[in-house]
Structure 1
Amino acid sequence: MEADGFVRRRRMTAEPGGGEPGVAGASAEAEIRWLGSRFLGVSEGFVGSLSPRIGGESEIQTVQIHGSTDSVDSSEPDYEGLPQSASTSTHMLAGSVAGIMEHCLMFPIDCVKTRMQSLQPEPAARYRNVLEALGRIVRTEGVWRPMRGLNATAIGAGPAHALYFACYEKLKKSLSDVIHPGANSHLANGAAGCVATLLHDAVMNPAEVVKQRMQMYNSPYRGVSECVRAVWHREGASAFYRSYPTQLTMNVPFQALHFVAYEWLQERLNPHRLYHPGSHMLSGALAGALAAAATTPLDVCKTLLNTQEAVVLGAAHTHTHTHTHTHISGLAQAFRTVYRLGGPSAYFKGVQARVIYQMPSTAISWSGLSSSGMHHQASRISARGNQLGDISFRPAEPELVSTLSL
C-alpha cells in the first residue's frame, strides 16, 4: 500500500546526506506539527511535545531554510498525477467510493428521470418538472419511494466504477506517452474513457435493468431479489443485457464528450493543475451537463429497453398491427418505437432530470477522484529536502490525508 512508501519516504527524510540529526528531527516535527493542527485539531503545543521523541533529542534547534523557491516551483509536477508506483488498488478504491457517492446522492432525481422517460405514462405519473414529480411521488407513494432500487445500484456501482477509473487512469497515462509524450492529449483522454466504459457497462447493466424496473410507477416488484428472479424466469438471462449495446452506444460518445470537455475546461480554469477543488467541480458539472443533453435520445431508448413497460408494448403492437414481438429488443426497434409513440420530441423526454442528475454527480465524482491523487505530494517534501540539502516544507498542501487513509 501507499502507506509503506510513505514510511520509507519519512526514513529518507530522517537521514539527510549531511547526517545532521537536528535537521532530520526538525523536518519530522514540522510535518507532524502541521498534520496535527490541520487535521486533528490539536494545538501546536500538544504536537510540539512529541518532538523530543521524533528528533531523538530533548531540544530542537531552529533550522534555516536555504535554496531558491523558484527552482522548486519550476520543477514541481502536476499534483493530479499519481506517482508511477501508485497501485491499481488505489485507483480502484477511489473510483468505487466516487461511483457509489455519485449514484446514491442523486438517486431520487434518477427515479424521476426514469418515470419522465415513459412513453405511455399513467395519468397519475405525468409530471411537468422534476420538483413537481418528486413532491407528488413523496405525497402519494411515500417518502422512501424515490429510493427504490438504490441497493441494486450501490451493489453494481462499486465494482463498475472501480474498473472504470482504474482502466481510465492506466490507459490515459500509457496513451498520452505514445501520442503526445510529456503533455496532455485529448485523444488519449477520449480513447481511455471509451475503453473504460466497456468494462463499466458490463458490470453495471444488470443493475440498471433491476433499478429501472423498480423505479417505474406501480412497479410490481417488492424487492431486488424478487425482481431478479422474475426477470430471469420470464425473459431469461439475456434480459439483463438487452440494453447493453444501446448503453455502449450512448456511453461511448457520452464519456468521450465528458472527458474531453472536462480536460479542456481544466486547461482553462486550472492551467497549472494546482490544488483547486472548485475547478474540478465546475469542470465536471459543465462537462457532465453537455454530455447528458447530447445523449438523451439514446438514454430514452435505453430506458425503454430496460423497463419493457406493458402499456408501451401494447401500444407498439397496435401501431405495427402485429403481435409477433413480445419484447422490444435492439436500438433500432427502440428508436422506431419512440418515434411512433411520441414523435421527435419524445427523444428528449426527461432531459431536464438527466442534466440535473449528471451535473452534481459528475462534479462529486471528479472531486472525489481528484482527492485520491493528492497523496503523492508528501513525497515532494523529502524530495525537495534531498535536492536542496535543506528542509523545504509547504504546509498549504493537504495531500497527506489520502496517503494515511489509504
Structure 2
Amino acid sequence: MLAGEVELLLFSLILSCGFLEAGGIAGVFVDLILFPLDTVKTRLQSPQGFRKAGGFRGIYAGVPSTAIGSFPNAAAFFITYENVKSVLHHDSTSYLTPVTHMVAASFGEVVACLIRVPSEVVKQRAQVSPSAGTFRILSRTLYHEGIQGLYRGYKSTVLREIPFSLVQFPLWEFLKDLWSWKQGHVVDSWQSAVCGAFAGGFAAAVTTPLDVAKTRIMLAKTGTTAASGNVLAALGGIWRTQGLPGLFAGVVPRIAAISLGGFIFLGTYEKTRQLLL
C-alpha cells in the first residue's frame, strides 16, 4: 500500500511539473507576442483616452512586468486547473463535465491572480505612462501605496477572469470533444488551437465591460472612488459618462488579442503537454 501511494505521489508530481512547464511556456509565448495589442486596448480603456495615454508611442511600455510575471502566472493557472479537473472528474458524470471545467477554471484563476494582479498593475500603469518606465512605476507604487497597491484590482480581476474562464474553457473543451468525435480520434494541437481561438474570442467579447472596469480601477488615482475597487461603481460611472461604447472600449483589440492568444496559448499548451506527458 505504501509503495503504491509513493508511486501515485511521484506520478502526480511528474504531471504537475508537466502542466507547470506546458502552461508557463504557452503563457510566455502569448503575452510577449501579443503585447502591442494589449497596450492599444489598455490605452483605449484608460480614463484620459487613447491619444493622451500614449497613442501608438512606446507600444512595448510595461513589457518587463509581463516578461517576469507571465511564466509563473500561466503555470499557476494550468497546474491548478488540471489538478482540480482531475480530482473532480473521478466523481462526475459526462453531464457534469462542463461544470467540472468551470469549477477547475475558477480555482485556477483565483490562484493565478495572486501572481497576475501585481504584474498587471505595474504593466498597465506603464502602458499609459510610457516615459515613466516599469521599475520606476513599481517603486512609486510601493512607496505611495505599499504592497496593497500592487493588489489593487485583485477583486475586479478575479470577477473578470472567472466569468471569462466559465465561458472559455468549457467551450474549448466542448469544441475539442466535438471535433474529436466528428473525426474519430483526439484532436491535434493545431485543432485544439483553432478551438481555443474561437472560445477565447467569444469569451473576450462578452466580458469586455468587466475588463474596462478592472482597467479603470487599476489606473485610478489613490483616494478616488474608482480606486476603492468597487466593480459595480466603476461600471456605473462608465455607463453614466460614456454609455455602451465606454463599456466596450477596446473590444476589437481585446477580441483580436485573445483570439490569437487562444490559438497560440492553448495550441502551444496542448502540444507541450503532449510532448511532456
What range is the shorter-chain TM-score in? 0.7 to 0.9
Aligned to 1:370: 270
Query: Any idea what the Cα deviations from partners look like across 1:95-140, whole Å, max 9, x if unmatched?
Result: 11111111111000000000111233265669xxxxxx6xxx2xxx
Secondary structure of the residue aligned to 1:274 is: coil
Contact 1:119 1:342 in 2 (8 A): no
Aligned to 1:240: 150
User: What's the TM-score, normalizing by structure 2?
Assistant: 0.87
Aligned to 2:40: 112
Q: Aligned partners of 1:253 and 1:326: how far apart in 2?
A: 24
Q: Aligned partners of 1:258 and 1:235: how far apart in 2?
A: 34
Aligned to 2:228: 329
| Residue 158 (structure 1) shift | 1.0
| Residue 269 (structure 1) shift | 1.7
Partner amino acid for 1:177?
A: H
Partner amino acid for 1:239?
A: G
Are 2:83 and 1:204 equivalent residues in the alignment?
no
Secondary structure of the residue aligned to 2:90 is: helix
Aligned to 1:172: 85
Secondary structure of the residue aligned to 2:274 is: coil
| Residue 233 (structure 1) shift | 1.7
| Residue 357 (structure 1) shift | 0.5
Aligned to 1:188: 100
Q: Aligned partners of 1:99 and 1:258: how far apart in 2?
A: 16
| Residue 305 (structure 1) shift | 1.0
Structure 2 CA distance for partners of 1:326 and 1:336, relative to 1, 3 Å: closer
Are 2:215 and 1:215 equivalent residues in the alignment?
no
Equivalent residues in 2 for 1:326-405 (5 A)?
A: 328-330=227-229, 331-375=231-275, 402=276
Q: Aligned partners of 1:233 and 1:109: how far apart in 2?
A: 30
Q: Aligned partners of 1:281 and 1:241: how far apart in 2?
A: 32
| Residue 94 (structure 1) shift | 1.0
Partner amino acid for 2:201?
A: A
Partner amino acid for 2:269?
A: L
| Residue 284 (structure 1) shift | 0.1
Contact 1:100 1:158 in 2 (8 A): yes
Secondary structure of the residue aligned to 1:328 is: helix
Contact 2:44 2:249 in 1 (8 A): yes
| Residue 163 (structure 1) shift | 1.2
Decide which moves more: 188-197 or 171-180. 171-180
Give the alignment partner of residue 172 of structure 2, picking from 262, 266, 269.
Answer: 262
Q: Aligned partners of 2:193 and 2:256: how far apart in 1?
A: 14
| Structure 2: runs of 5 or more not aligned | 1-10
Give the alignment partner of residue 99 of structure 1, picking from 27, 41, 55.
Answer: 27
Contact 1:119 1:346 in 2 (8 A): no
Structure 2 CA distance for partners of 1:114 and 1:85, relative to 1, 3 Å: closer
Contact 2:63 2:123 in 1 (8 A): yes
Structure 2 CA distance for partners of 1:159 and 1:125, relative to 1, 3 Å: closer
Partner amino acid for 2:253?
A: A
Equivalent residues in 2 for 1:4-15 (5 A)?
A: none
| Structure 1: runs of 5 or more not aligned | 1-82, 127-132, 314-323, 376-401
Partner amino acid for 2:105?
A: G
| CA RMSD between the two structures | 2.4
Partner amino acid for 1:333?
A: A
Are 2:194 and 1:294 equivalent residues in the alignment?
no
**Matched residues, percent identical?**
27
Contact 2:43 2:50 in 1 (8 A): no
Aligned to 1:18: none
Partner amino acid for 2:115?
A: V
Q: Aligned partners of 1:369 and 1:190: how far apart in 2?
A: 18
| Residue 340 (structure 1) shift | 2.7
Aligned to 2:60: 147
Contact 2:46 2:53 in 1 (8 A): no
Aligned to 1:282: 194
Secondary structure of the residue aligned to 1:190 is: helix
Contact 1:119 1:338 in 2 (8 A): no
| Residue 345 (structure 1) shift | 2.1
